[in-house]
């Protein structure tokens, strides 16, 4: 093999040229030690302990930087150090090309188990046994089956692609061990395509840590260093989330609250400030917009390129672990938004990674997303599927994440998603379902729930695709939950109408119960509803200032009483008036005003009431947990229903979505006795009118709403009430 390939940076098999090589000397054989050091002027080989010289290497004529030492047949292969002279500088190094077996170790264990990808590939910190010494090192391994040459470049070699060419393996991985490369060293891969053309320097797809613009360099990181303190949380008894209260606070880490200079809080600062707030507000979970590394702030994390690295905008991976750890110690679950649907075209990323469409579909009718100007993963490729499932398992294993909310599921399920006729390719049966993505989801959910049974997977799926949250063995996709986008769209459309016209849109509030038990739904009022010109939730409400606030309060309480778990985006809880902007903090100064402080107090009380009243959550996904009392009072825009738990305890819910009080309003109840209002969104505590509901709500033995008893109350304007029988178990 020609030594010229080294100088051309086009050598795919450096182990056949460098390090110890057999040497034929006539009929006898000896050893040849060959090194390639482009900047060296002289090289001497020493024993691994540095105590004896093996010999001075001779420069090979015509091949600058190539040095050789010929040894007799009596000499044995042994570990060595190189003493290098480069101009006026002298230094020693362990030649990486003597560690062939250690380099190949990675690919011996990359099997069908997806977690082996992040345990073996990327930059793995290891120790080398060299003589009597243990030498720290980093093993690099990257998948680039269609490349003609790959070099690891970085701080360790002044970003010179000639210095450390990697060895190609039969399975398409490239490997190399670099001694004395430790945590914090920056690196990338220099890759040439199959035709020898140099590609933009690529970040490591398996990087655990990365720099921001402009370098986007990967960093070596040790995941074994952090000492977790959340054993009580991790060892807690498994609970069935379907029968548990789940109220999720969705937030973007960079804009929840900022410092005085408008810099975002770090992960550790978030832990100190966000967790007490979430505890005080009564949420059960935090859901973070994607923290996976991404190049563009304006994507909010939804265009990620580092599926194995928390963004370094807010700290290092251990800092993010600290945040999760503190959440768990406080009894708060952590859910991450995760994006296996698409990735951006940035040159340092996955697009045409080795010169081919390695990660993305080749045909743009399948591999290019017109909505987001991004590449779509090829779910038909085994490596891509393994890569994505490995990412999911990685966050569960290394960061103790409690759940993954999968973004843009609908875009993955349908070939014609957001495409016109002629812009997509049908499946083998002529339909629009992406069978490869469907198969991927089933494998993903099977892997997650089999290895992390306490975890949750949540689908953001906006269509009527069947059985999204049904088990795989029943023919479902296997998700634990699905966002109820239908409820969100219908209810927001209704509540945005002028009350005078709501009678004509009454079905928008009631239709959700027609399909409520088709899936395990989460009711989302997410970031998507307060961006891109949609305005804030408060500003969606009609009427004057009082009516807007009252509308919002009544709507929030209706949401908390409706079957399904709850999700609200940050700022909703105190009725932020402006649309969310990722470049600045929420408007916390609004809490100096009674209106916003009152709505925040309502949210606090809603969470606490929801969590302590089992009828509001225990039977979310069973017909026994809900019953209409009156869903046909369109003329008065009122709704009434009951929620029930497994013990028969009942909460009655009634909403008035007009500014007109309803006097002597009759509400059917099941049992005789005295009843009490446990939550009233019109209370003065919430900046309401404090309209008198009635102090004595004693049942009357006269049927109403199909119940044997009824109570009579004064129904406040623009309000939702929760009522229960006193002394109920």
407 is annotated as an active-site residue: yes
| Dist CA 151 CA 273 (whole Å) | 44
Domains of the chain: total: 3
The bridge status of strand 173-179 relative to strand 133-143 is antiparallel
Helix axes 545-561, 594-612, angle to 10 degrees: 10
Answer whether residue 334 is part of any domain.
Answer: no
Which of 66, 94, 122 is where one domain is finished? 94
Answer whether residue 134 is part of any domain.
Answer: yes
Give 288-322 pLDDT, tens digit per residue: 999 999 999 999 999 999 999 999 999 999 999 99
Are both 123 and 212 inside the same structural domain?
A: yes
Are both 139 and 208 inside the same structural domain?
A: yes
Are both 137 and 203 inside the same structural domain?
A: yes
| Token couple for 91 | 């230094």
pLDDT-derived band at 489, boundaries 50, 70, 90: very high
Answer whether residue 599 is part of any domain.
Answer: no
| Dist CA 442 CA 478 (whole Å) | 6
Stated as kind and residue range, the H or E segment containing 36 is strand 28-36
Answer whether residue 596 is part of any domain.
Answer: no
Are both 705 and 632 inside the same structural domain?
A: yes
| Dist CA 681 CA 276 (whole Å) | 25
Which of 33, 65, 94 is where one domain is finished? 94
Neighbour-count burial of 602, counting CB atoms closer than 10 A to its CB (0-12 exposed, 13-18 middle, 19+ buried): buried
68 is annotated as an active-site residue: no
CATH number at residue 89: 2.60.40.10
| Token couple for 228 | 């977790």
Are both 155 and 208 inside the same structural domain?
A: yes
Residues 567 and 610: beta-carbon distance below 8 Å: no
Mean pLDDT of 690-708: 93
| Dist CA 268 CA 371 (whole Å) | 35
Least Cα distance to 423 among 364, 470, 502, 490 occurs for 364
Are both 39 and 70 inside the same structural domain?
A: yes
| Dist CA 168 CA 13 (whole Å) | 6
Q: What is the DSSP string of 322-371?
A: HHHHHHHHTT-EEEEEE--SEE---TTSSTTTTSS-SSB-SSHHHHEETT
Residue 729 has pLDDT above 80, yes or no: no
Could you tell me which residues come within 8 angstroms of residue 584 by beta carbon, excluding any fewer than 6 positions away?
Answer: 255, 258, 262
Could you tell me which residues come within 8 angstroms of residue 263 by beta carbon, excluding any fewer than 6 positions away?
Answer: none
Are both 58 and 130 inside the same structural domain?
A: no
Answer whether residue 569 is part of any domain.
Answer: no
Catalytic residue among 190, 318, 354, 407, which?
A: 407
Are both 673 and 714 inside the same structural domain?
A: yes
Residue 5 has pLDDT above 80, yes or no: yes
Catalytic residue among 319, 460, 529, 682, which?
A: 460
| Dist CA 526 CA 532 (whole Å) | 13
DSSP 267: H
Q: What is the pLDDT of residue 1?
A: 60
Are both 114 and 82 inside the same structural domain?
A: no
Q: What is the pLDDT of residue 25?
A: 63
CATH number at residue 644: 2.60.40.1180
Are both 656 and 636 inside the same structural domain?
A: yes
Q: What is the pLDDT of residue 72?
A: 76
Mean pLDDT of 472-479: 97
Burial code of 607-637, b = ≥16 C-beta within 10 A, e = fewer?
bebbbebbbbbbbbbeeebbbebbbebbebb
Stated as kind and residue range, the H or E segment containing 667 is strand 662-669
Give 52-97 pLDDT, tens digit per residue: 899 999 999 989 999 999 987 677 888 999 999 998 999 999 999 9
| Dist CA 573 CA 280 (whole Å) | 12
Neighbours of 708 (CB within 10 A): 14
Residues 273 and 512: beta-carbon distance below 8 Å: no
Residues 245 and 563: beta-carbon distance below 8 Å: no
| Token couple for 405 | 């909310």
Are both 205 and 115 inside the same structural domain?
A: yes
Q: What is the pTM of this model?
A: 0.96
Give 146-156 pLDDT, tens digit per residue: 999 999 999 99
| Token couple for 464 | 């009527």
Residue 221 has pLDDT above 80, yes or no: yes
Stated as kind and residue range, the H or E segment containing 69 is strand 66-71
Residue 728 has pLDDT above 70, yes or no: no
**What are the strands, taking DSSP E only, across 536-637?**
565-569, 626-630
In sequence order, what are the beta bridge partners of 719?
A: 656
| Token couple for 82 | 């190189």
Q: How far apart are the first and last CA of the chain?
A: 84
Residue 185 has pLDDT above 70, yes or no: yes
| Dist CA 703 CA 334 (whole Å) | 47
Q: Which structural domain, as residue segments, surrounds residue 43?
A: 19-94
Answer whether residue 212 is part of any domain.
Answer: yes
Neighbours of 603 (CB within 10 A): 25
**What are the strands, taking DSSP E only, across 481-551?**
481-483, 521-525
| Dist CA 552 CA 542 (whole Å) | 10
Phi and psi (nearest 5°) for 464? -95, 25
Neighbours of 111 (CB within 10 A): 12
Residue that is written with structure tokens 């702030």 in the block: 297
Could you tell me which residues come within 8 angstroms of residue 272 by beta carbon, excluding any fewer than 6 positions away?
Answer: none
Which of 94, 128, 155 is where one domain is finished? 94
Residues 279 and 263: beta-carbon distance below 8 Å: no
| Dist CA 455 CA 569 (whole Å) | 21
Residue that is written with structure tokens 């170790």 in the block: 105
Helix axes 545-561, 485-495, angle to 10 degrees: 150
Answer whether residue 665 is part of any domain.
Answer: yes
Give 569-609 pLDDT, tens digit per residue: 999 999 999 999 999 999 999 999 999 999 999 999 999 99
Residue 624 has pLDDT above 70, yes or no: yes
Tell me what percent of the residues of the chain surpass a pLDDT of 70.
Answer: 99
Q: What is the pLDDT of residue 238?
A: 84
Residue 157 has pLDDT above 60, yes or no: yes
| Dist CA 555 CA 395 (whole Å) | 35
Residue 28 has pLDDT above 80, yes or no: no
Residues 619 and 644: beta-carbon distance below 8 Å: yes
Answer whether residue 671 is part of any domain.
Answer: yes
Neighbours of 545 (CB within 10 A): 11
Are both 71 and 144 inside the same structural domain?
A: no
Q: What is the pLDDT of residue 708?
A: 95
Gyration radius (Cα) of the chain, Å = 32
| Dist CA 640 CA 657 (whole Å) | 11
In sequence order, what are the beta bridge partners of 123?
A: 140
Give 348-378 pLDDT, tens digit per residue: 999 999 999 999 999 999 999 998 999 999 9
Residue 270 has pLDDT above 80, yes or no: yes
Average pLDDT, the chain: 95
């Amino acid at each position: 093999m020609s030594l010229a390939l080294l100088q051309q940076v086009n050598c795919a098999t450096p182990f056949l040229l460098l390090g110890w090589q057999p040497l034929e000397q006539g009929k006898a054989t000896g050893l040849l030690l060959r090194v390639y050091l482009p900047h060296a002027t002289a090289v001497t080989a020493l024993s691994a302990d540095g105590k004896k010289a093996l010999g001075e290497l001779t420069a090979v004529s015509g091949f600058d930087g190539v040095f050789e030492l010929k040894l007799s047949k009596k000499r044995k292969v042994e570990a060595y150090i190189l003493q290098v002279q480069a101009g006026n500088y002298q230094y020693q190094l362990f030649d990486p090309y003597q560690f062939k077996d250690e380099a190949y170790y990675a690919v011996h264990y990359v099997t069908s188990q997806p977690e082996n990808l992040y345990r073996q590939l990327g930059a793995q910190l290891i120790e080398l046994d060299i003589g009597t010494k243990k030498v720290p090192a980093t093993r690099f391994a990257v998948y680039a089956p269609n490349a003609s040459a790959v070099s690891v470049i970085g701080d360790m070699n002044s970003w010179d692609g000639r210095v450390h060419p990697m060895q190609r393996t039969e399975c398409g991985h490239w490997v190399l061990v670099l001694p004395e490369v430790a945590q914090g060293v920056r690196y990338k891969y220099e890759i040439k395509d199959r035709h020898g053309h140099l590609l933009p320097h690529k970040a490591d797809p398996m990087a655990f840590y990365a720099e921001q613009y402009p370098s986007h360099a990967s960093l070596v990181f040790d995941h074994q260093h952090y000492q977790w303190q959340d054993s009580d949380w991790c060892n807690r008894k498994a609970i069935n989330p379907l029968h548990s209260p789940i109220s999720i606070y969705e937030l973007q880490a960079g804009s929840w609250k900022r410092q005085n200079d408008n810099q975002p809080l770090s992960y550790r600062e978030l832990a100190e400030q966000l967790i007490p707030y979430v505890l005080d507000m009564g949420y059960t979970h935090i859901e973070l917009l994607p923290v996976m590394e991404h190049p563009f702030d304006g994507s909010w994390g939804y265009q990620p390129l580092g599926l194995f690295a928390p963004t370094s905008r807010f700290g290092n991976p251990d800092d993010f672990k600290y945040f999760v750890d503190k959440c768990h110690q406080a009894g708060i679950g952590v859910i991450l938004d995760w994006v296996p649907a698409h990735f951006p075209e940035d040159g340092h990323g996955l697009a045409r990674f080795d010169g081919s469409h390695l990660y993305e579909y080749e045909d743009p009718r399948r591999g290019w997303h017109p909505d987001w100007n991004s590449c779509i993963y090829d779910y038909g490729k085994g490596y891509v599927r393994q890569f994505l499932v490995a990412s999911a398992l990685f966050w569960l294993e290394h960061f103790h994440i409690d759940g993954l909310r999968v973004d843009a599921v609908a875009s993955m399920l349908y070939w014609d998603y957001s495409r016109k006729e002629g812009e997509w390719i049908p499946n083998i049966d002529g339909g629009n379902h992406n069978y490869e993505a469907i198969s991927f989801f089933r494998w993903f959910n099977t892997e997650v729930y089999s290895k992390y049974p306490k975890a949750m997977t949540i689908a953001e799926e906006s269509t009527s695709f069947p059985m999204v949250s049904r088990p795989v063995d029943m023919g479902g996709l296997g998700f634990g939950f699905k966002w109820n986008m239908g409820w969100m769209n219908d209810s927001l459309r209704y509540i945005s109408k002028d009350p005078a016209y709501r009678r004509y849109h009454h079905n928008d509030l009631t239709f959700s119960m027609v399909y409520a038990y088709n899936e395990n739904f989460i009711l989302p009022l997410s970031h998507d509803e307060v961006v891109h010109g949609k305005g804030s939730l408060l500003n969606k409400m009609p009427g004057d200032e009082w009516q807007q606030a009252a509308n919002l309060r009544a709507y929030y309480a209706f949401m908390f009483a409706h079957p399904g778990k709850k999700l609200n985006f940050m700022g909703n809880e105190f009725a932020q008036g402006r649309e969310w902007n990722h470049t600045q903090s929420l408007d916390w100064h609004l809490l100096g005003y009674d209106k916003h402080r009152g709505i925040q107090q309502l949210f606090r009380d809603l969470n606490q009431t929801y969590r302590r009243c089992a009828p509001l959550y225990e039977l979310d996904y069973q017909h026994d947990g809900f019953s209409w009392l009156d869903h046909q009072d369109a003329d008065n825009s009122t709704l009434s229903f009951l929620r029930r738990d497994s013990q028969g305890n009942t909460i009655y819910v009634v909403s008035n979505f007009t500014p007109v009080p309803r006097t002597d309003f009759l509400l059917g109840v099941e049992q005789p006795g005295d009843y009490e209002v446990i939550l009233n969104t019109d209370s003065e505590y919430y900046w309401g009118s404090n309209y008198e509901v009635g102090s004595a709500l004693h049942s009357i033995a006269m049927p109403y709403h199909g119940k044997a008893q009824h109570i009579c109350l004064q129904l406040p304007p623009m309000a939702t009430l929760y009522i229960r029988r006193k002394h109920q178990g």
